[in-house]
Every structure is written in structure tokens, then in C-alpha cells.
Amino acid sequence: MSLAEHRDAGPDQRRVPETFESTAPATGAVVAVFQVHGPDEVRAAVDRARVAAASWADLGFDGRRTRLAAYRGYLARRVHELADLVHRENGKPHADAILEITLAVDHLAWAATHARTVLGPRRVSPGLLAANHAAWLEYQPLGVVGVIGPWNYPVFTPMGSITYALAAGNAVVFKPSEHTPAVGTWLADAWRAAVPEVPDAVQVVTGLGETGAALCRAGVGKLAFTGSAPTGRKVMAACAETLTPVLMELGGKDAMIVDDDADVAAAADAAVWGAMSNAGQTCIGIERVYATERVYDAFVAEVTERVRGLRPGTDEAAAYGPMTMAAQTDVVRRHVDDAVAAGGRVAAGGTVEGRFVAPTVLLDVPETSAAVREETFGPTLTISRVRDAEEALERANANAHGLAGAVFSRSKARAMDLARRMRSGMTSVNSVLTFASVPALPFGGVGESGFGRIHGADGLREFTRAKAITRRRFPLPVDLMSFTRPAAAADALARVMGLVHGRHR
């Protein structure tokens, strides 16, 4: 059964099929056929992963680091093979697939190298009351982490959870999107080939939403979900049944602020890349620009000029590919129609042919329209004129999403101030999306964009539980936490409190 047939089937005919096809968005050709794994198969994968997790954790930081290096090497040596598969199954240009894989490999290297420093045992100050004890903090793995991924960055996005979870000492069961199961399966096969002594530490289960729901209920230590907010709510509800903790990496509606003193040409170049690359199917893609009165006309001219030179397609010269999911073209069309009906102007594009959406620039779109409020996930950009950067920030922040964003300004202090006050998990100044390529920086959103972090030290800790240990070094003459303590001990303690803390007013 194809995914389209499953989607279009009425509720009576809709049954969970035994297999499903992954197809190339550009041609409709079948890439491969996959099994739909049911609850029993998912649970069996998690059970196998639990056994593997114990061996994987026993390897310790150094042991895991060498195995993760082997995985990294394996991926790096086959970058073209994997990029070709991503190109076929997701539709993005081969060169963009290489960029995506490179970023994932770089993160893998960082996570493996820094895991001990971030998570390893460390002594902390025991404080005044436990001065006769040693105090230790360490971050222990959770066991098995379930990862549910989307299709838009089928390597980079799930690997942001998978590799950080592995580096932290967990095994992983990964449910890739039904639109990119071949890429997900390739990543797990690569693991088995590169690290054959712990093959079950990374496994893939394939299927539709039901398989993802089964993973939520399969007894994993944590569920890392990346996808849309509506599905995220279902995942949270399923995980709530077993109090399984969740990480939510959801959608965005990222804004760029172009201030009076911005390098307008650079801002336009970045906005066009941020909005149109990967056919706009980027959670941290730029979908809205707020340009101040002083730069608005020049910015619009620069953007429309650049967009004129872009076109979607499947050939080498195409700037981006088809929409990966056919249904996404309907969303784009609805947003463009709604923007125009509300008084917006189409400065470029606005057309959809089959799965190919022309690079689209919309002007004067009211803030209440769907094109400004909802995630479009297509190669579209709205540009709005604002009085100043403060108004730009106010409008940028008036959205339920809060994933990322960008600020363009020549003033370092002003740009940093705006970046700090932007209601988002990540902001880049004078560029777009850069934070995603800095492994030490955490990645994640606020509001409808989710919670929790992948990448960086926070991304390692996300897949652990903090463990606190104290060890008594020597006894004190008076033990305050004993029934043997003398009656006067509490008075003495109160006097010490008065001396240490009482002077503060």
C-alpha cells in the first residue's frame, strides 16, 4: 500500500498495512518497500536494545568514544552513497545532502569527545552542613532512548538525538519518518557494520504513526520526538501513560530582523537561503522578515533580484527540489491564497506545479494571516515594513512558535541585545541557521516549538539522569541527623545560622 492510498482511505477501510512503499518525490518511483512494525516487534526491538545498552554502558566513555569514531569514519567514507539516497528519498539536491551529513558527523565527533567532561563523575562542594562528607555528581544513561524523526533532514535531525544519546551511554531504537525509512535503515545498517560488537545498540523500526505510538509505549527510558506540534501532543499523551519523559523538537515560524544599519545585501542573501533552501522544508528556516523603513525598499529589491535566479527542479542546476510530501503543496497554496485575499502582494513566485513550488516572496501580508502565523514549510517568505527594530522584535515575538531566528545589524551591542530578547531557543546574528553547525551550542525551542535540547552539553545531559552521591569521610562529634544528638545541638545550629545568614537584610 502506498502512503497516499493509506491517507486517502476512509476510516472504515483504513487498516494498518503490513508493508509500505517509500517513493522518490521527484519521480514517484519506489525507493524500497518496508515492513510496518507492530507493537510486538517494537517491544522486541526495545528489549534487545536494553540488553545492548548494558554492554554499551559498560564500555565506558573511552570505549564508546573509539566505537563512535568508527561509526563516524564509516559515515564519512560513504558520504556520497548516503547523500545519493537522501537525494532520491527526500528530493533535496545531492550537495545539500552532503552538507546535512557533514553537520551530523561533526556533531557525532563533538558528542563522543566531550561526553566524559560533561557527564563523568565530578566532586562538588559538600557545603557547610555536610562538611565531613565528599559529594559526587555524575550523569548516568537512561538505558534505551526511543527516537521518532521527521523526513526534512532525515540524517541531521534524528542523528542530533541518536548520537548524543549514544555518547551518553544509551542504546537507541529509531522510528524514521515513513517518508524517509530507507535513510533511517541505512543509518542503522551502517552502525551494525561499523560497530559489530554491539549491533543492537542502534536499531530501526519502520512504519507509520502507529509504529511511533507503539515506541512511546514500549518501555523506553526517554522518547525524543522531532516533528509537528499536533503529533508531538499525541506523543506526549502516549508517553504520559507510563510517565516516560519526552524531548519535543517541534516546528517553527522563524523571523529575521533587518535593522537600519544592516548590510542589506548580506541580509537578503541569507534570507533567500534561509527561506528557500531545502524547498523551505526547514524547521529553522526563515519564513518572516521584518525590515525597518530605512532598509525595506532596498531589502525587497535585493531579495526579489536573487529569487529571480532560483528555480526548483531535479537537475544539477536546480536551487532546490520538489516538496517531499505531496500534501505540503496544499499548505503552501492555502497560505499564499490567504495572504493575497487579505491584501498581500506577490513580489515573486506564488505558483505551484505538481510538487514544485516557485520561490515565493509576499509583501504587505497582515500579521493575522496564516502565512505569517502558521508554519508554511515551503519556499516562501513574507517581508513586512516596520518602524524600527523594536517593532520588528515585538512582531517577531508575537508568534506561538519560538524555535530560532536571525538579526542583521552592524552594531554588535544592538544585535546581541535583540538576539537575547528574541523569544526563541536560537538566534544567529548576521547569518542564518549558523547555531545548528556549532556542536557546543544547544538546539531546541520555546512555546509551540517544544522543549528540551539536543546538541552541546545540554544535549548530552538530556539523555541522562543526574545521580547524586555523598560519602562520609569522618564522623563529627555531634551528628545532627541522629536521635543521639544532644538537646542543645539545635540551639547551637540556630546560633551558627544567625552568624552566617542572619546579617543579610
Contact set with ligand NAD (CB under 6 A): 148-153, 157, 175, 177-178, 208-209, 212-213, 216, 226-228, 231, 234-235, 249-252, 283, 375, 377, 403, 445, 450
Output the nine-digit C-alpha cell for 249. Answer: 523538537
- Which position among 21, 89, 178, 283 bears the catalytic label? 283
Instruction: Identify whether the C-beta of residue 431 lies closer than 8 Å to the C-beta of residue 284.
Output: no
b (16+ CB within 10 A) / e for 74-96: ebeebeeebbebbbbbbbbbeeb
What is the DSSP annotation of 464-481? EEEEEEEEE-S--SS-TT
CA–CA separation, 397 and 410 (whole Å)? 22
- Which 3 state secondary structure label does DSSP give 13? coil
How near is the Cβ of 231 to ligand NAD at its closest, in Å? 3
Task: Enter the DSSP assignment of 278.
Answer: G
CA–CA separation, 22 and 181 (whole Å)? 7
Closer to ligand NAD by Cβ: residue 304 or 428 = 428
Closer to ligand NAD by Cβ: residue 347 or 372 = 372
Closer to ligand NAD by Cβ: residue 90 or 292 = 90
Closer to ligand NAD by Cβ: residue 148 or 272 = 148
CA–CA separation, 326 and 356 (whole Å)? 9
Task: Enter the DSSP assignment of 354.
Answer: T
Nearest residue to 175 (alpha-carbon basis) of 217, 233, 115, 230 = 217
Task: Residue count of the chain, please give it.
Answer: 505
Instruction: Identify whether the C-beta of residue 465 lies closer than 8 Å to the C-beta of residue 142.
Output: yes
Closer to ligand NAD by Cβ: residue 278 or 292 = 278
Bridging pattern class, strands 144-148 and 286-292: unpaired
Name every residue whose Cβ is closer than 8 Å to that of residue 46 and which is 6 or more positions away in sequence: 144, 146, 173, 215, 218, 219, 220
How near is the Cβ of 256 to ligand NAD at its closest, in Å? 17
Output the nine-digit C-alpha cell for 276. Answer: 528557500
Three-state secondary structure readout of 377-444: CCCEEEEEEECCHHHHHHHHHCCCEECCEEEECCCHHHHHHHHHHCCCCCCEECCCCHHHHCCCCCEC
How near is the Cβ of 89 to ligand NAD at its closest, in Å? 13
How near is the Cβ of 316 to ligand NAD at its closest, in Å? 26
- Which position among 89, 178, 249, 302 bears the catalytic label? 249
How near is the Cβ of 42 to ligand NAD at its closest, in Å? 11
What residue number has its CB nearest to ligand NAD? 212
Closer to ligand NAD by Cβ: residue 150 or 350 = 150
Instruction: Identify whether the C-beta of residue 464 lies closer than 8 Å to the C-beta of residue 143.
Output: no
How near is the Cβ of 462 to ligand NAD at its closest, in Å? 13
Instruction: Identify whether the C-beta of residue 80 lies closer than 8 Å to the C-beta of residue 202.
Output: no
CA–CA separation, 93 and 143 (whole Å)? 37
Closer to ligand NAD by Cβ: residue 231 or 437 = 231
How near is the Cβ of 325 to ligand NAD at its closest, in Å? 7
Residue whose grid cell is 529575521:
256
Bridging pattern class, strands 171-175 and 144-148: parallel
- Active site (annotated) includes residue 283: yes
- Active site (annotated) includes residue 390: no
How near is the Cβ of 285 to ligand NAD at its closest, in Å? 8
Closer to ligand NAD by Cβ: residue 237 or 496 = 237
Closer to ligand NAD by Cβ: residue 93 or 150 = 150
How near is the Cβ of 378 to ligand NAD at its closest, in Å? 11
Indicate which residues carry an active-site annotation.
249, 283
